[in-house]
Amino acid sequence: MKRRDFIALLGGASLAPLAAHAQQAMPVVGFLHASAPETNAHLVAAFRKGLGETGFIEGRNVVIEYRWAHNDAKRFPELAADLVRRQVAVIVTPVGTATAQAAKAATATIPIVFSMGTDAVQAGLIASYNRPGGNVTGVSAMVSELGAKRLGLLLELQPQIKRVGLLANPANPVVTETLLQDVRPAAAASGLDIEVLSAGNAGEIDTVFAALTQKRVDGLLVAPDPLFNNRRVQLATLAVRHALPVVYPLRAFAEAGGLMSYGPNDEDRYRLVGVYAGRILKGERPADMPVQRPTTFEFVINLQTARALGITVPPTLIARADEVIE
């Protein structure tokens, strides 16, 4: 072997471990999601944007390990435990109470950043919103706390209704409880009955809608839940088929054909999760990071769906909408 080739080979051998070490030195973020990547690409991009605002770019100076449960809640503990074994620097659970609870059950030391619509204190994740006090912090989407607001919109649209259904996933009882605490007093004040309807998969959603006439439900509120987020086209189609006015927790439902939605901006929520994950990578402690709350809420009306349902939307509602889908 020529001396020049030998030196080149020796140099390459010495650089290889250095390159491997540099790659290993990059912090790893565990991303635990209840749903599937196909329907969440825009939200993952928003999360990456938030990380980027703190100086972390995927593939350049941070690694993201994705774990998708594909709407199977039974997999949450297994996927969370896998990220803990991977020794990630921080775990993010950008949607749902149950994923955050699974992450907390898997580790008391790795920082966790959640985003969810239920009361994080009631869910046992933090001590308080101002000082979480442990290894968990995040973003309160407040989607469950806005149930009374959505009920009011439904009543303004259809003042004659007497019985309102609440579609909830039995796998997320904290969400249902939080919503009912908000909705029941408002319903009682308006003389309305509330009927809780449970669906834990696509087939049960069909069954719920088939039973609506028997249960005399004339309006529906949909609880925030990853399952329903992923089945929003099915929900919108069934609502039109059964001629039922429905109010949803996020704008994605109205964009998919739902009648009305009211809730925080989803992309901004994911961005904030990314920002908090980046700040933790830089050394901040979750215990000292107050839970963030959204400041922007979106009211969206789908007039195409209203026409399909034979509903005339009052001008007062249209005037207040942030977006009207024609």
The order of strands in the sheet holding 28-33 is 63-68, 28-33, 90-93, 112-116, 136-140
Structural domains present in the chain:
3-142+265-288 (3.40.50.2300), 144-264+297-325 (3.40.50.2300)
**Location of structure tokens 């088939």:** 210
The two counts, helices (H) then strands (E), for the chain are 13, 12
Report yes or no: 54 and 61 within 8 Å, Cβ to Cβ: no
Find where tokens 């990456």 sit: 48
Strands, E assignment, the chain: 28-33, 63-68, 90-93, 112-116, 136-140, 163-168, 193-198, 219-222, 246-248, 260-264, 297-302, 323-325
pTM to 2 decimals? 0.78
| DSSP string over 8-65 | HHHHHHHHHHHHHHHHHHS-EEEEEESS-GGG-HHHHHHHHHHHHHTT--BTTTBEEE
* 70 residue type, one letter: H
pLDDT tens-place values along the chain, 326 residues long? 444 443 344 344 444 443 444 445 899 999 999 999 988 999 999 999 999 999 999 999 999 999 999 988 899 999 999 999 999 999 999 998 899 999 999 999 999 999 988 889 988 999 999 999 999 999 998 766 789 999 999 999 999 999 999 999 998 888 888 889 889 999 999 999 999 999 999 999 999 999 988 889 999 999 988 889 889 999 999 999 999 999 999 999 999 999 999 998 889 999 999 999 999 999 999 999 999 988 788 999 999 999 999 999 999 999 999 999 99
